[in-house]
Chain A
């Protein structure tokens, strides 16, 4: 039976019995109830008897202490926006559909193809803000935060996939690439790859009458001119929205949602819902991209874990293992278990022949066939055979070690065999599946793969995973909002924390803030935070402290510090370190700042507004992107648009007569901030776009300054005499040159610490046990900083909560007798692990080694071996494979 492939957005069909997508977990088949006709064929065919049609939904009661909600979101469905021709013309697709078109596992195998005639498009348009920033037609007044970046990415990948020059045009109101280093990507798309960015309001997308499958895009330019351009294909950058099912769930749980149905949370409690004990993360909390979602998920884990800290490890069950037997003096007795995998392997490969062949190989004491080697009964049977036959090496010829190696290794351990005396031959994924049309060749290949595995197994020796203790104390560097939140996150989980701050007082940059854009009183919250830090029994506070030395590895660091004005030297031993060194506001050199007292930064303006109100302001001009998004400092500072809008609203609310002009390049009021942008405009704040090659000009006057700029809507040059010029100066990372060099912590060009992986490990650094959060990572708002600090505490807790760390046994080892101290390993290691020790030879710390084997291959004296991948072990496979060739 066929059904619509929902994962591939309906661009192709799939079977009624299907695997959702190639990376699905668990990677197992399911039956599409809506397409299944109940013929019973699959039940009869399934050799494992895994299919039961009678399976029903069951309800189960779980006793839990906290609940974390991450129900995600759905893409906006544009079918009701009839002027876009979506759903009526195949060449108008959503961005999610275009993702599948580009994907190697997608309907067209990654070939850039338009659905209408399966031809490669030469000219593609992306239309931004479909279902976002649109109160008129969709009711979604927020910005979805992710669409600008994914549109740029899709355009770049499409260009990469295209066989000839391709024209990519992104029609937008503003380009919102506000994330860490996103602006550089946008610049590359624009300046190097030739992606066009056009400021426009879309009028319509109409199929061209000649049946070519092309589409006429009509749009209004910024000056109101109606233009038309023909495209091969149009991609709708659809926004994110909350599903009905999530709204139902929230109502069932009694959670408050905001007017767009996102969970209501607070600035200093970004993952706490209105109901204590229930936490929200991801898009359910507000529109956001993958890195921010991952951060928030960790933050929610931290918040959810703190009240449960006392119960940690109380439900843990552990497995008793028999003592490991010493096989070093034993004669080789290799056992080979060949798997039919139902008919997955047995249907193509003659497994009986393979088993007989295995029996004939030297050292093989046993060879047998299983229907499903990974099934529980087969595993029990395997244990019996290992013991009865006194096997001391085990080879399983079945599927991928990626999925099944750990299962079989556990079986070995349960028999008292070292788990590294094991080898797999992948005769399914690398054989029966890919050579299904050639059973003879597949059987031959299976034999050779088994031969290779048997030969390698003979060269294996036991390896032992070292266990190292974990020091439960943590060190947090920086006493701003991020550092304090991280420290409390750890302390609330029950871990002692040393918080070091280089200044005399806590609070950092937040000391200069008054209110957030949603009206939260920052000073009150900050004082509360400081009080909690000072009074928490698990937090030890060291102010006026600098770090002078840092040694050790995850779980066991030693840091030396100089404390107080007396510079008392102290040594701190700790298991993890969190960097929260913060940022400052850029001190502009532009626009007469520092020369005329009417020219202020946004933070200075906020201070002035708090102190004496807005009554004396008649004309205020704000200039955005001062010290950001320019040649010297290419990145966007993320927070300045909302600072300007916040101050503009403050002025207009207090003094509606005042004129406020905001000169901007792109207004980046992402996520729910868009509401404030809408509000500012409704209050009469005027927005004018300027560009880098047509900068506003500021001239000094007797009573203030005058600002001259171009108005792209009127196409005229305007001049405003103002009594207040506020510069939206970007954020600059605190100078951490000394600290970074002591910690050997990598930073970006603009001084932000670098995470280990932008998306998957956004708060971890490449040195294990080291984390980063807050504005030391990148510019961000207080709620985002708070979430990230909790995320760092959460990831650190994952390490600290282990009684000991188990190190991989697959690490490099130096033979000191062969080492000539040539330093090649020291230089080639990507993680700077090898050192020359007191004996003058190289030494590799197993706790730090990642096990890539680069040093082992570089070493000219062959003094380094990578355990489990020794040269003899690799060559044994080559030799076995080619034994009969020449």
Chain B
């Protein structure tokens, strides 16, 4: 469908959102991502039955940790859609982009950039997508 969405997302393929671990999400923030979207099948329609429900819990867990350390849990969000819903994917991409733009650069990045002046501020966002295998 070639629907456009912001070019600041990068997709990392996993077999199921059930494979997405809290450490993967936290690693992205540690390395300077401004936001993470976990994109899986619709609830009740998981190719592996319960993977997306586990992912939802882990996303909640990651949010709590990010809140605690002051990065902000709202920078991580779980999205659910079916593989036939291109327009919805584009919509979700816009949504997470708008959220993260609203929040600005991640505090981790800001802190690290202070130590390394001269690095141009630029929003980068990381999307983690379930392998569209359905």
What per-residue 1/0 map shows which CB atoms of A441-457 lie under 8 Å from chain B? 11011001100100000
Q: Which residue among A22, A452, A875, A879 has the maximum number of chain B CB atoms within 10 Å of its CB?
A: A875
Judging by beta carbons under 8 Å apart, are B19 and A854 in contact?
yes
Picked from A105, A852, A871, the residue with its CB within 8 Å of the CB of B84 is A105
Q: List 29 A-B contacts (CB under 8 A).
A: A22-B84, A104-B84, A104-B85, A104-B88, A105-B1, A105-B84, A110-B85, A435-B4, A435-B7, A436-B2, A436-B4, A449-B10, A452-B12, A810-B15, A830-B48, A851-B15, A852-B16, A852-B47, A853-B14, A853-B15, A853-B51, A854-B48, A857-B18, A857-B20, A857-B58, A858-B54, A881-B31, A886-B109, A886-B113
**Nearest Cβ in chain A — how far from B130, in angstroms?**
10
Judging by beta carbons under 8 Å apart, are B49 and A886 in contact?
no
B64 at the interface (CB under 8 A from A): no
Judging by beta carbons under 8 Å apart, are B24 and A885 in contact?
no
Judging by beta carbons under 8 Å apart, are B86 and A105 in contact?
yes
Q: Which residue among A104, A400, A433 has the maximum number of chain B CB atoms within 10 Å of its CB?
A: A104
Judging by beta carbons under 8 Å apart, are B2 and A434 in contact?
yes
Nearest CB to that of A856 among chain B residues? B19
Tally of B interface residues using CB under 8 Å: 48
Complex CA–CA separation, A866 to B116 (angstroms): 37
Judging by beta carbons under 8 Å apart, are A877 and B48 in contact?
no
A612 at the interface (CB under 8 A from B): no
Judging by beta carbons under 8 Å apart, are B32 and A875 in contact?
no
In the complex, which residues of chain B have a beta carbon less than 8 angstroms from the beta carbon of A444? 7
Complex CA–CA separation, A402 to B119 (angstroms): 37
A699 at the interface (CB under 8 A from B): no
Judging by beta carbons under 8 Å apart, are A882 and B32 in contact?
yes
Picked from B24, B58, B109, the residue with its CB within 8 Å of the CB of A875 is B24
**Nearest Cβ in chain B — how far from A746, in angstroms?**
11
Judging by beta carbons under 8 Å apart, are B10 and A452 in contact?
yes
Interface residues of B in 92-133 (CB under 8 A from A): 108-109, 112-113, 116, 119, 124, 126, 131-133
Nearest CB to that of A766 among chain B residues? B49
Complex CA–CA separation, A830 to B133 (angstroms): 18
Contacts A830-B51, A853-B18, A869-B14 given; does A434 touch B5 at CB 8 Å: yes
What per-residue 1/0 map shows which CB atoms of A842-886 lie under 8 Å from chain B? 000000001111101110000000100101001101110111011
Contacts A436-B4, A853-B16, A854-B16 given; does A881 touch B108 at CB 8 Å: no
Q: Which residue among A434, A879, A883 has the maximum number of chain B CB atoms within 10 Å of its CB?
A: A434
Complex CA–CA separation, A110 to B82 (angstroms): 13
Complex CA–CA separation, A460 to B131 (angstroms): 18
In the complex, which residues of chain B have a beta carbon less than 8 angstroms from the beta carbon of A436? 2, 4
B67 at the interface (CB under 8 A from A): no
Complex CA–CA separation, A837 to B84 (angstroms): 41
Contacts A401-B13, A810-B15, A853-B14 given; does A882 touch B124 at CB 8 Å: yes
Contacts A434-B4, A437-B4, A857-B54 given; does A878 touch B24 at CB 8 Å: yes
In the complex, which residues of chain A have a beta carbon less than 8 angstroms from the beta carbon of B12? 452, 874, 877-878
In the complex, which residues of chain B have a beta carbon less than 8 angstroms from the beta carbon of A854? 16, 18-19, 48, 50-51, 54
Judging by beta carbons under 8 Å apart, are A22 and B21 in contact?
no
Judging by beta carbons under 8 Å apart, are B48 and A885 in contact?
no
What per-residue 1/0 map shows which CB atoms of B43-71 lie under 8 Å from chain A? 00001111100100010000000000000
**Nearest Cβ in chain A — how far from B2, in angstroms?**
4
Complex CA–CA separation, A452 to B49 (angstroms): 29
Complex CA–CA separation, A430 to B20 (angstroms): 20
Nearest CB to that of A433 among chain B residues? B2
Given contact pairs A810-B15, A875-B24, A881-B33, enumerate 13 new A-B contacts (beta carbons under 8 Å): A23-B84, A104-B84, A831-B49, A851-B15, A853-B19, A857-B58, A874-B12, A875-B27, A877-B12, A878-B24, A878-B126, A882-B31, A885-B31
Complex CA–CA separation, A852 to B108 (angstroms): 32
Judging by beta carbons under 8 Å apart, are B24 and A871 in contact?
yes
A467 at the interface (CB under 8 A from B): no
**Nearest Cβ in chain A — how far from B54, in angstroms?**
6
In the complex, which residues of chain B have a beta carbon less than 8 angstroms from the beta carbon of A828? 54
Closest 7 CB pairs of A and B: A853-B19, A852-B48, A885-B32, A882-B31, A830-B49, A854-B18, A886-B32
Judging by beta carbons under 8 Å apart, are B113 and A866 in contact?
no
Q: Which residue among B2, B33, B58, B112 has the maximum number of chain A CB atoms within 10 Å of its CB?
A: B2
Judging by beta carbons under 8 Å apart, are A402 and B51 in contact?
no
Judging by beta carbons under 8 Å apart, are A879 and B31 in contact?
yes
A719 at the interface (CB under 8 A from B): no
Count contacts between A and B, CB distance < 8 Å.
135
In the complex, which residues of chain B have a beta carbon less than 8 angstroms from the beta carbon of A869? 14-15, 19
What per-residue 1/0 map shows which CB atoms of A612-630 lie under 8 Å from chain B? 0000000000000000000
Judging by beta carbons under 8 Å apart, are B116 and A886 in contact?
yes
In the complex, which residues of chain B have a beta carbon less than 8 angstroms from the beta carbon of A23? 84
Nearest CB to that of A440 among chain B residues? B7
Complex CA–CA separation, A449 to B90 (angstroms): 19
Contacts A830-B51, A877-B12 given; does A110 touch B119 at CB 8 Å: no
Nearest CB to that of A430 among chain B residues? B11
Judging by beta carbons under 8 Å apart, are B7 and A438 in contact?
yes
Picked from B7, B15, B21, B90, the residue with its CB within 8 Å of the CB of A445 is B7
What per-residue 1/0 map shows which CB atoms of A408-442 lie under 8 Å from chain B? 00000000000000000010001101111110011
Picked from A442, A866, A885, the residue with its CB within 8 Å of the CB of B7 is A442
Complex CA–CA separation, A441 to B122 (angstroms): 12
**Nearest Cβ in chain A — how far from B67, in angstroms?**
21
In the complex, which residues of chain B have a beta carbon less than 8 angstroms from the beta carbon of A871? 21, 23-24
**Nearest Cβ in chain A — how far from B112, in angstroms?**
4
A109 at the interface (CB under 8 A from B): yes
Judging by beta carbons under 8 Å apart, are B124 and A22 in contact?
no
Picked from B10, B47, B48, the residue with its CB within 8 Å of the CB of A881 is B10
Nearest CB to that of A456 among chain B residues? B12
Picked from B11, B23, B48, B132, the residue with its CB within 8 Å of the CB of A850 is B48
In the complex, which residues of chain B have a beta carbon less than 8 angstroms from the beta carbon of A875? 24, 27
In the complex, which residues of chain A have a beta carbon less than 8 angstroms from the beta carbon of B10? 445, 448-449, 452, 881
What per-residue 1/0 map shows which CB atoms of A361-399 lie under 8 Å from chain B? 000000000000000000000000000000000000000
**Nearest Cβ in chain A — how far from B50, in angstroms?**
5
Complex CA–CA separation, A437 to B4 (angstroms): 8
In the complex, which residues of chain B have a beta carbon less than 8 angstroms from the beta carbon of A866? 15, 19
Judging by beta carbons under 8 Å apart, are B4 and A402 in contact?
no
Nearest CB to that of B28 among chain A residues? A878
**Nearest Cβ in chain A — how far from B119, in angstroms?**
7
In the complex, which residues of chain A have a beta carbon less than 8 angstroms from the beta carbon of B33? 878, 881-882, 885
What per-residue 1/0 map shows which CB atoms of A135-170 lie under 8 Å from chain B? 000000000000000000000000000000000000
In the complex, which residues of chain A have a beta carbon less than 8 angstroms from the beta carbon of B27? 875, 878-879
What per-residue 1/0 map shows which CB atoms of A54-96 lie under 8 Å from chain B? 0000000000000000000000000000000000000000000
Complex CA–CA separation, A109 to B24 (angstroms): 33
In the complex, which residues of chain B have a beta carbon less than 8 angstroms from the beta carbon of A877? 12
Complex CA–CA separation, A882 to B32 (angstroms): 6
In the complex, which residues of chain B have a beta carbon less than 8 angstroms from the beta carbon of A878? 12, 24, 27-28, 31, 33, 126
Judging by beta carbons under 8 Å apart, are B4 and A874 in contact?
no
Complex CA–CA separation, A830 to B49 (angstroms): 6
Picked from B19, B23, B116, B119, the residue with its CB within 8 Å of the CB of A852 is B19
**Nearest Cβ in chain B — how far from A408, in angstroms?**
15
Q: Which residue among A448, A857, A877 has the maximum number of chain B CB atoms within 10 Å of its CB?
A: A857
Judging by beta carbons under 8 Å apart, are B108 and A886 in contact?
yes
In the complex, which residues of chain A have a beta carbon less than 8 angstroms from the beta carbon of B113? 886
